[in-house]
Chains A and B, each alone.
Chain A
Amino acid sequence: MNIDLTEEQRQVRDLCREFADQELKPNARKWDETHHYPAEQVKKLAEMGLMSVAVPSEWGGGGMDSVSYALAMEEISRGCAGTGVIMSVNNSLYCDPVLKFGTDQQKAEWLKPFASGEKLGCFALTEPMSGSDAAEMRTLATKKDGGYVLSGAKNFITNGPQADAVLIFAMTDRPKGHKGITAFLVPATAKGFVRGKPDDKVGIRASGTCSLFFEDVFVPEKDRLGKEGEGFKVAMATLDGGRIGIAAQALGIARAAFEEARAYAKERKAFGQPIANFQAIQFMLADMATEIDAARLLIWRAAALKDQGVRFSSEAAMAKLYASEMAERVTSKAIQVHGGYGYTKDFDVERHWRDSRITEIYEGTSEIQRVVIAANLLKE
């Protein structure tokens, strides 16, 4: 039992905290209002090794562990949740699977420049009619001339508007359902690749989200990631790690809301004293802090298991389920503590609440997490 961070982990956390305080927090409200993609800050994150925290340095990555990744995600998301998800998608959903399933040749082309932050990746699994149920996907990859021809549409793709490459999942053998899915790497320059217009979202508005269309896009065989029919396995293994990232994002959002609520409670007076003196407010803060700590421990446990190379699907699902639902409760309480001001854009808590809402939906809804957890526990 060792709950202490290593020196390196502490340094990453402190570095990210400082960066968030200086570069993200002061701008996040403006970016949210204007749907601004923080290209400059993403570049700086890349210079700090944060666009691929857990990718080994030989492939251009940060060369750190998953606990460090969770710490970085918490701190960056505390500053700006939109920036957090930009980082998370490149880390967990793009670089991690290419590292895990790619050949050395593929890693040179499809990992190194993305890990270094020179380029940006995205992950295209979801479709208009297929979200939680990936086996229902309609995008087809038909074998042709030493490669595949992709046709179909992907939906809700984070980093879609900016991405230089797409890790895309398509059906190579539809009758086989999820066993007929295959993963491919497609450059944004490919002929027939078209981006939709950016989605107007409730929260995480500094990140770009759009639909992607594949109109007979040719993909050479060398750009298939993993074997034919292995796509579902690639996607699921990727999402396990991704859930740690999103859980940590939710944690960061909740912490921002908690810290602001605590500060406000000390300043704001009612009935002749700071509202922090009232048990009604104290108890909300106590519950917020307790749930934040519970979420962090669940996240660290999943990340530590990942670092140890132990199976962590159920633990990552618990972390993601708990942290995201916790964030929604905590940000909502933060608005309550702020009263009417919390409902305005003069304070950040309304944004935190909007930002938190998506963490219960993407990278596996709360319902999917419960399915994963229950399946594991009933197997025992």
Chain B
Amino acid sequence: MDFTLDDVQAAVQATARAYAREKLLPTAAARDRAERFAVEETRGLAALGLQAVAVPAELGGAGAGSVAYAVAIMELAAADCAVTVGTGVTNMVGEVIARYGTEEQRRRCCPRLASGEWLAGAFGLSEPQAGSDPAALRTRAELREGRWILNGEKQWITSGDVAGVTVVWARTDPGAGARGISAFLVEQGTPGFTVGKHEAKMGQRASSTVPLVFEDCAVPQSALLGTRGDGLKIALSALDGGRIGIGAQAVGVMTAALEASSRYARDRQAFGKPLAGHQAIQFMLADMQTERDAARLLVLRAAALKDAGRPYGREAAMAKLFASEAAQRAVLKAVQIHGGYGYTAEFPVERLLRDARVQTIYEGTSEVQRLVIARDLLKA
């Protein structure tokens, strides 16, 4: 039993922390206001290996594993969640291609995602009418003259406009239900693949979120990722890993909220002493730290299991559920501690409040996490 990081994990954490504090934090608020995708910063992350932390080194990744990935995301998210979510999805796409891709797919995509040649990877699962229930998706892929023809729409696709490659889930065997879904790798610029209007989001505004449209979009048979009909399985296994990422992101937000709040509580005076001298404030801080630490341990446990090649679906769901819900409580407390100032853009906590809100929704809502956990608990 040892919760300390090993040398590689600690080095990745230190690298991510330094970059986050020097390059992301000072510009995060401006990017948020302008809804500007962080092109240069993303390239910087790639140069440090942070776009493909757990992707094997022979494919251009850092090969540092999931615990390293989780601690890197925690550090980045403490500075800028919007940049972090793009990085998180890119990591997830790199990993899913490394795991399920053919040698040709891996050699083509993973190094480009890792190096930043492709600014991002995207994960095209959700649709306007199919979110928590991906088996209900309607995008179709038909095999015609040796090519797959894709038709349909995707919704809420993070980095969909800047991604070099998007994993697109489509129905290949309409009669086969959940077993009739397959995954495809669709590169930017493929004819028939267009990107819709940017969503105007309340938080994580510097991340790009767009709908995707496929109109007779033809891809070669070699674009099929994994086995035909295995799409949903691939999606769910990728999401298990993705949940570690979102859990880690929520931990990062909690750390930012805690640090901003303890700083403010020490500086701000009320009733003749610093806010930090009042138990009402002390207790909020104590609860924030306790829940942040619990969330962090749940995330690290899931990541350690993943690194060990052991089942971790339930643990990842618990980590994501707990961390994202705890993050809501933490950011609300942070704004409360800041009083009126917390409600203004002068302090970072209002951005944290908005950024955290989506964490209980994307990559599986809290409700879906509870379903995953309960199903596992009630098995047998």
Contact = CB atoms under 8 A, between A and B. Distances in A.
A374 B289 CA distance: 9
Given A1-B9, A321-B290, A370-B287, A298 B297 contact: yes
A2 B258 CA distance: 27
Label chain A's interface by main secondary structure. Answer: helix
Given A289-B373, A290-B322, A369 B3 contact: no
Contacts of B378: 262, 265-266, 276, 282, 285
A298 B294 contact: yes
A322 B294 contact: yes
B1 A294 contact: no
Contacts of B285: 373-374, 377-378
A6 B301 CA distance: 16
B7 to A, nearest CB: 12
Interface stretch (B49-57, B172-180, B275-283): B275-283
A15 interface: no
Interface in B262-277: 262, 265-266, 276
Contacts of B369: 286
Contact of A287 (B266, B282, B315, B370): B370
Of B265, B294, B318, B369, the most chain A CB neighbours within 10 A belong to B294
B2 interface: yes
A293 interface: yes
A9 B2 CA distance: 13
A295 B294 contact: yes
A307 to B, nearest CB: 8
Nearest to A4: B1
Contacts of B305: 3
Interface size bracket, B side: 35 or more
A377 to B, nearest CB: 5
B318 A369 contact: no
Contacts of A304: 1-3
B47 to A, nearest CB: 26
A318 B288 CA distance: 10
B343 to A, nearest CB: 24
Contacts of B282: 370-371, 374-375, 378
B162 to A, nearest CB: 33
Contacts of B322: 290-291, 294
Looking at A4, A285, A321, A373, the one whose CB has the most chain B CB atoms below 10 A away is A373
B216 interface: no
B315 to A, nearest CB: 8
B304 A1 contact: yes
A3 B318 contact: no
A202 interface: no
B290 A322 contact: yes
Interface in A303-331: 303-304, 307-308, 315, 318, 321-322
Nearest to B292: A318
B148 to A, nearest CB: 37
B6 A1 contact: yes
Given A377-B286, A377-B289, A378-B285, A5 B373 contact: no
A1 B286 contact: no
Interface string B1-22: 1111110010000000000000
Contact of B266 (A3, A266, A378): A378
B371 interface: yes
A301 B301 CA distance: 12
B283 A370 contact: yes
A318 B290 contact: yes
Contact of A1 (B2, B266, B290, B293): B2
Contacts of A307: 1
A105 interface: no
Contact of A301 (B3, B291, B315, B318): B3
A9 B1 CA distance: 10
A283 B1 contact: no
A282 B294 contact: no
Interface string A197-234: 00000000000000000000000000000000000000
A283 B301 contact: no
Nearest to B300: A1
Interface of B: 1-6, 9, 67, 258, 262, 265-266, 276, 279, 282-283, 285-287, 289-291, 293-295, 297-298, 300-301, 303-305, 307, 315, 318, 321-322, 367, 369-371, 373-375, 377-378
27 contacts: A3-B3, A6-B1, A67-B1, A266-B378, A279-B370, A282-B378, A285-B373, A285-B377, A285-B378, A286-B373, A290-B373, A294-B318, A297-B294, A298-B293, A300-B1, A301-B297, A307-B1, A308-B2, A369-B286, A371-B286, A373-B290, A377-B258, A377-B262, A378-B266, A378-B276, A378-B282, A378-B285
